[in-house]
Each structure stands twice: as C-alpha cells, then as structure tokens.
Structure 1
Amino acid sequence: MNNICILDNGAYTAKVGLASQEAPQLIPNCIMKAKSERRRAFIGDQIKECRDASGLFYLLPFQRGYLLNWDTQKTVWDHIFSPDCCGINLSEKTLIITEPHFNFHSIQEALTEIFFEEYECDALFRTTAADLSALHHLKSNTVPADCCIIVDMGYSFTHIVPYVKGEKIKNAIRRIDVGGKVLTNHLKEIISYRHLNMMDESYVVNQIKEDVCFVSSDFQRDMKTQKLRYPENTIIQEYVLPDFTTVNRGYVKKPEGPAPEQQTIKLNNERFTVPELLFNPSDVGIQQMGVSEAIMNALDSCPPPVHHVLLENIVVTGGCALIPGMGERLQTELRALAPDDMEVKVIITEDPVAFPWQGGRVLCQSTDFSEMILTREEYEEEGVGASIEKFDP
C-alpha cells in the first residue's frame, strides 16, 4: 500500500495520499494571485500563507470541467508531490488518478505521458470519481445485484451514474451543467446586486456559500417566511465579512451579539435560492433537468428488474453534498417521482469529498488490481495509445 498513490484530481480540490494513509490531504487545485502580494503566486494550499485573500485572481487547470491548462496543472502537481506539501515521490510507484466522465482522448494521452515521462511512475490506473465511489459503497455494504446510483455533485458538473452488477450503464449516465462553481458565481451576482460589489471576491463568496446556504425542504414555505420581519423571519442572517486584519474568515453574527466593527451583509432568501439551481437549473437559463428528474431519467435507461435496488442505493458525493438539507430534499422529491411500491433511500456519505479517494484504497486491495493497471513496460512498448485501449476499450 505504501507504493500506491491515489490522486482524486478534482476541478476545485485535489485529494491526494498514499493508500496506506487513513485519509487524503485536500489541496486547492489552482494557482492564486492576491492584490496585496502581486509578486507571489500561491499554489494550492499555500493560500493559507496569504495575509489578505480579498480580490484573488485564479488560474484554474480545468475549464468547463475538463483539464485544458496543462502549465497550471503541472505547477500544482509539482507542488503537491514536493517535500513542502505531500512529499510523495512518484518514481517506482503506482498512481491511481481520476478524470471526468467522457474525457477526451487527447487529454487522456497527455495525462499518461506526463506521469510516465515527467514523474516516472511505475504503473498507472485511470478511472473516474464515480467508479471509485461505487466500488467503495458496494464493497462496504451488502447490496443485492451490486446496484447503486452515484450522484457526483462536483465543481463543474453533477453526474448521475447508475451501476448494475458493479458495471456502469454508459447510456444511462446523465450530466447537469450545474456544480459548485455555478452556485458560487450566482451568489456572487446576487450579493453584488443587493449589497456591495463582490464580483472579484470568489474566495470570500465561496466561504459565504459554505457557511450560510441550505437546501430548502419546502421552497414555497421558505419564500413566505423570508418576507416576514425578524424574529418571525427565521431565515435572515447577518454575515460579518473578513477584513484580513482581525478577521480572516467571515462568520454568521449572533442576533443578540454586539455590533461588530467589520462590514456586514444581511442574507435572506439567497441562502436557499442559490442551491435551488441544482433542482431547477432553468432559474439561471440552463435548460436542463434538475438533479431529481435526471436521476429518474437515468433510471429509465436501466433494466427494469433492478429499479427497486437502484432506488434504495442512491449515493450522493462531492462538495455540494455538504450543503445542509440536500439528502432530505432529494429523498422527498424522488419519493414523489418514484413508483409507490418501491422504496427510496438517499445516502449522503460521511465525508462526501473524500469518499471517492477512500474507494481508491478499496480498489488497491482487490485481487485483480495488478492486472488492471498500465505498467511502464506496456507504455514503453505501445506508447500513449495503450492507456486508451486499457481503460477505454
């Protein structure tokens, strides 16, 4: 296990560690530049060294969910594997790395070449976060017919991937172009329109989203509540913005607490209307199904005899799964859409962000893992095309 490294290379966060570790390190998968320190670029987790994180400029390796900026990604990987961060030397190690669904062959070939040529890996296994999540769930639970639906709520996309007998049903995979990035950008626009201009404050607004947003269990009821005055209005919250002098991260002010010296904004219906985009993408002009409808649509493409098992094993992973109320809302909507004679069970994993990485640990322990990997000998004999034949037959 010490010679196997697992890298869940997400568009927002890279989860990395040796298979012998209990948990991965979470490192921002980007390079950031701050107004206060223009000469220095902060790579990955170096952002914690930044004294003033206002107005950060991001260099992201991923664009629209796919790895396109290779210079940025290589810089982040160099930092991740350096002694200053994880300190993992990939030479003579096997690497398990994740990629998006429907990834382009050109990206896959470049990925293979970089890790064999630049990092001198001994072997490589390329997979998706959903595949690892499914393996983790199916191995840790007694699931009839090895069936489950993985709902991967990532940074750029939300993917719904059904698995039957441990194999994914490719024609049943559904993708919604809404993820954490769309939610943060929408909240940024709302705050900038209603309160003060925060269009350049992605870092701070993302923290606001994590601190105050929730998924409404009854949207119409909450819309009525947010029109009331405090204290009847139980939704409104006052958020204290960071000044990066005395307060480095914003927080929700207690109603009875003293007035803080820092700038504050009052957040009302945006607390639940922003995550609502996952259920109604048309609210921002994305003409696609919401996540509940997409799950049922994916189910229709699966064999009818396993529908009841799939509905009892809906596993939600990814950063957006951490939004409070997500499981309850999905459970309610799917219960209304599913046949009355079938049980519905939505499972929010204990650690939705690290769940796929943990699936990588399960994969390492499988008896046929050594046959699944692409070895350096195979790569040197057949070239980069060997990875396409091995992992995407």
Structure 2
Amino acid sequence: MSNVVVLDNGGGLIKAGIGGERDPAAVVPNCTGRPLSTKKWLVADQLLAPDADLTSATVRRPIDRGYIINTDLQSSIWSHIFNNLLKISPGESSLLLTEPLFTLPSIQRSVDEIVFEEFNFQALFVADSPSLVHLYEASRRPYGLVSKAQCSLVVDSGFSFTHASPVFQNFTLNYGVKRLDLGGKALSNYLKELVSYRSLNVMDESFLMDDVKEKLCFVSLDISRDLQIARKSGRDNLFRCTYVLPDGVTYMRGFVKDPEEAKRYMTLNFA
C-alpha cells in the first residue's frame, strides 16, 4: 500500500509526515545555511544539530514572501527530507502539499513538474492551509460549532505573511481573504534592529535572533500595562532576563541563563 506524504511547506519551517499519523515526523527549517567556518551548506535538520556553529551563517531560502522563487533549492531540501528524514520512496507514494493562497500559475506549474517529473510521485493533492485547519477542527469536534455551521474564520500567521480567510462548507472564499505582509520574519528583523541599535550588532545573526524571539517573546494582551512594566528596573521588571550568546568554543548555541526568570511574566493576569 502506498504512503500519503504530507508536506506543510512554510517559508520558515517544513512540517513533514505520513498521512494518518498524529504528529509530523519532522519539523525542520526550510532553508540551507553555510557557517563562516566551512564551505559546506547545511540543509534543513542539519541546521538544528547541537554542534552546528551558525554564527553569521549565510542563509538561502527557496521561499520569499510566501511563494517559491527557487525551485532548484526547494527540490534539494525536499529530496533531503524524503531520503534522510521520512525515508520514503516518492515513486511509491502520493503527496499532500500545502500551497499559499493566490499562488501564481507559473509557480504551480513549476511545483507540479518537480513533484511528478523529478520525484515521480503517484498523485498530488494541493490544499490551502485555511481549509485544512477548518477540516481538522471540524473532525476534532464533530458536534461543535465549526462542524455544524460548516464555516469559520481562519487567521494564519506564518513566516512571511498573515491571512484572515473565511471558510464556508469546507472551501476557502478567496474573494474574502485579507492579507497582511507581516509574519515571523518581519518580527525577527525588527528584533535584530532593536538589539543592534541598543547593544550589539546582530543584523547577520538570523538563527540566533530567531532563537531569542521564540524563547523570550510573547504576545501582549494588555499593551499599556506591559509597557509600564517594561520601563521598570531590577526585579520589578518581570520581562527582564539574561540570554547568553554563543562563543563558538564552549557554546555553539545561545541559551536563556535562568529559564524560571524568563517565565516570570506568566504570573501576570492575562484575563
């Protein structure tokens, strides 16, 4: 029996797995990186290795603003995932692939060529993320509001953009979709600017600042209160914590010095 390979192809991360399984088998960066200390390009999960020195690493991404612009690079990343992480034979499998809304026909044709001519998949189903999220929620709660009403509003905030998409009877209504060109990449770049202006130049430290953002940043539900707290000094500032930078010798990755200190903001009332 052939496998159904599920590929959530995001601009920042790829989530890959086999249909029917609860969790993805791999969640890896959708990019390649080359550290300053070597000429070898690291692919996907290789960038997550504890001994990988990513200080000022050069980064190449196949996706820009949500859409595939480098099919050769994307193909090489997929090949690495299929062969080394999923360990499947594409010729004996079908593929379910997520695709961003409003993808140009030329990009769709290029992806089809990769799927069928290069990897020789038996079949391809392309779906947009909002409809899949709607179907997943409806299947989890068959007697819930989403399942009964057969409609929902899905807010998809990813690496490159944020979409607010109405879904009706399991189909995304494209004419009602609103797009905001703001995602994780823009927030990481803004964090780079803040740190570089106030302390240390980290404009070339993409992986490092992504790690800082993911470990220390949160979404404020009371911006006025949180700004007042951020202006305080010492222990009264619940957001203040220490992040240790990598030195390239003992520590290849940065880390939060005191995880408990970094979680003090959780004592606030978010109701």
Question: So what's the TM-score if we normalise by structure 1?
Answer: 0.62
Match of residue 86 from structure 2: 86
CA distance in 2, matches of 1:254, 1:33: 30
Equivalent residue number for residue 74 of structure 2: 73
Does structure 2 conserve the Cα–Cα contact (< 8 Å) formed by 1:12 and 1:155?
yes
Partner of 2:54: 53
- Equivalent in the alignment of 1:284: none
Call closer, same or farther: CA 1:16–1:152 in 2, change over 3 Å.
same
| Mapped contact 2:130–2:167 kept (Cα < 8 A) | no
Q: Output the amino acid matched with 2:60.
A: L
Deviations 1:123-166 (A, max 9, x none): 11011122211110112122231121111111001111111232
Q: Residue 198 of structure 1 aligns to a residue in which SS?
A: coil
Taking the aligned partners of 1:77 and 1:60, their CA distance within structure 2 comes to 13
Aligned equivalents of 1:152, 1:189: Cα separation in 2: 25
Whole-angstrom distance in 2 between the partners of 1:118 and 1:167:
30
Which has the greater radius of gyration?
A: 1
Q: What amino acid is the match of 1:119?
A: F
2-structure distance, mates of 1:52, 1:139: 42
2:165 to 157, 161, 168: 161
1:39-50 to 2 correspondences below 5 Å: 39-49=39-49, 50=51
Q: Which amino acid aligns with 1:93?
A: S
- AA paired with 1:154? G
The alignment covers a number of residue pairs equal to 261
Q: Indicate whether 1:239 and 2:243 are aligned.
A: yes
Whole-Å separation in 1 of the counterparts to 2:249 and 2:2? 42
SS at the partner of 1:231? helix
SS of match in other structure, 2:203: coil
Going from structure 1 to structure 2, the CA distance change for 1:182 and 1:51 (only over 3 Å counts) comes to same
Runs (5+) with no aligned partner, structure 2: none
The residue type paired with residue 59 of structure 1 is R
Moved more, 213-222 or 184-193: 213-222
Number of the residue aligned with 2:96: 96
Question: Which SS does the other structure have where 1:237 is aligned?
Answer: coil
Q: Distance in 2 between matches of 1:206 and 1:185?
A: 9
Q: Which residue number corresponds to residue 14 of structure 2?
A: 14
Mark the runs of 5 or more structure 1 residues left unpaired by the alignment.
258-266, 273-323, 333-393
**Map 1:240-389 → 2, pairs under 5 A:** 240-254=244-258
* 2:234 partner SS: coil
Name whichever of 48-57 and 168-177 sits farther off: 48-57
Paired residue secondary structure (1:81): helix
Q: Residue 13 of structure 1 aligns to which amino acid in structure 2?
A: L
Q: Residue 34 of structure 1 corresponds to which residue in structure 2?
A: 35
Q: What is the aligned-residue identity percentage? A: 38
- Deviation, structure 1 residue 226: 1.8
* Structure with higher RCO (Cα < 8 A, 6+ apart): 1
How far the C-alpha of 1:214 sits from its partner, in A, is: 1.2
TM-score normalised by the chain length of structure 2 = 0.89
Inter-partner Cα distance in structure 1 for 2:35 and 2:22: 34
1:95·1:125 contact (CA, 8 Å) conserved in 2? Answer: yes
Structure 1 CA distance, aligned partners of 2:59 and 2:119?
25
Q: 1:42 is matched by which residue type in structure 2?
A: L
Report deviation, 1:256: 11
Once the two structures are TM-superposed, the CA of residue 255 in structure 1 deviates from its matched residue by 9.9
Question: For the residues of structure 1 that align with 2:205 and 2:55, how far apart are their CA atoms?
Answer: 6
Instruction: Report 1:58-207 matches (<5 A).
Output: 58-82=59-83, 84-141=84-141, 142-143=144-145, 144-207=148-211
Whole-angstrom distance in 2 between the partners of 1:61 and 1:167: 28
Q: How far off is 1:2 after superposition? A: 4.9
Distance 1:256 1:69, change over 3 A: closer
